Amino acid sequence: MTVSGSMGPFGQAELIGEMMEEPPPQSVPRRRGRPRIWRVTIFVLAAIFFFVPLAAAFKYSLQQDNGGYGFANYGTIIHNKDVRAPLVTSLEIAAISGAIVILLMLPTVVWVRLKKPRATTFMEVVTLLPIVIPPVVMAAGLEQFELNAPQWVIQHGFDSPLSGLIPFYVVLAMPFTYRAIDTGVRAIDLHTLVDASRNLGASWASTLARVVLPNVQTAVLGAMFLTVALCLGEVVIATLLLYQTFPVELIVLNHQQQAGASVALSMLTLAFTFLLLFTLSFLAQRRRGSRATRLL
């Protein structure tokens, strides 16, 4: 093809550019094929593995002494004072332990990320120790310590489930809470947020409470929910130290030939844990949606 000289240099350049332009690639629509048989098989097996025992436990919790079915076992938590008091105690322990572990771990994670990034590996190793050491070993050591401790230590440290169990539950929850909060802190621009807050005259406490915490609230809630679930399920330390908590009461009911009530209360605990997880998922999705709206 001949380019006419009457078009001028700019016209010739535009024409040559159009001739050398490659056609845009055509997008090929992707077909959504049928799910492979092995995926369906794994999903069905996983559903059977998780839901069949739950269904069997729920059916067993409905059985009554007369051979019929009803929700009388679920009313034990309301009518039985011996069950209601340990439940209140376990909820108090869970709430206080969750608050303490957040107050300890959030400043620690922020300080390590800002001031001592080389200590990250050391902190990860240290926070893994409660998982490496079995809880039964810790419980046996605590039992021996309680037997040989001075009387004033027994009176001030082991006289109630709150003072006797909360410190150890905080230690047991440390691996989960540290990693949950650390993941949330990694997802934000921590240095920029803290520098901006400090340059505007905010104190460290105000920076943590009003700047860092709102940006990692999903991770903090996840860490607190994990602590609550751990406190409602831990039974070894409470049993060896002779504290009457909710998990211990479930075992007592089972030994008293009230297995139906024990299973019913276990189902309520499991439902409460699932409710916490669904609440966390809902809050995380809501936060992502609000963040996307602000960006738009």
State the CATH number of the domain containing residue 196: 1.10.3720.10
Evaluate whether residue 25 is within a structural domain.
Answer: no
What's the rounded mean pLDDT across residues 86-94? Answer: 89
Asked if 130 and 44 sit in the same domain, the reply is no
Evaluate whether residue 103 is within a structural domain.
Answer: yes
**What was the pLDDT predicted at 75?**
77
Q: Higher-confidence residue: 20 or 143?
A: 143
Q: Report the percent of the chain where pLDDT is more than 70.
A: 83
Q: Higher-confidence residue: 277 or 202?
A: 202
Domain of 177, in residue numbers: 79-290
**What was the pLDDT predicted at 294?**
56
**What was the pLDDT predicted at 277?**
75
**What was the pLDDT predicted at 31?**
53
Evaluate whether residue 23 is within a structural domain.
Answer: no
Measured from the Cβ of residue 189, the count of other Cβ atoms closer than 10 Å reads 10
Number of domains in the chain: 2
Q: Which residue has the tokens 């009313």?
A: 75
SS3 181: helix
Q: Are 90 and 232 in contact (CB under 8 A)?
A: yes
Evaluate whether residue 112 is within a structural domain.
Answer: yes
**What was the pLDDT predicted at 16?**
41
Q: Are 267 and 169 in contact (CB under 8 A)?
A: no
| Long-range contacts from 113-117, C-beta under 8 angstroms, 24+ separation | 113/182, 113/185, 113/186, 113/190, 114/190, 114/191, 114/194
Output the pTM of the full model. Answer: 0.73
DSSP-assigned letter for residue 75? G
Evaluate whether residue 119 is within a structural domain.
Answer: yes
Look up residue 43 and give its amino acid.
Answer: F
Asked if 64 and 168 sit in the same domain, the reply is no
Q: Are 212 and 106 in contact (CB under 8 A)?
A: yes
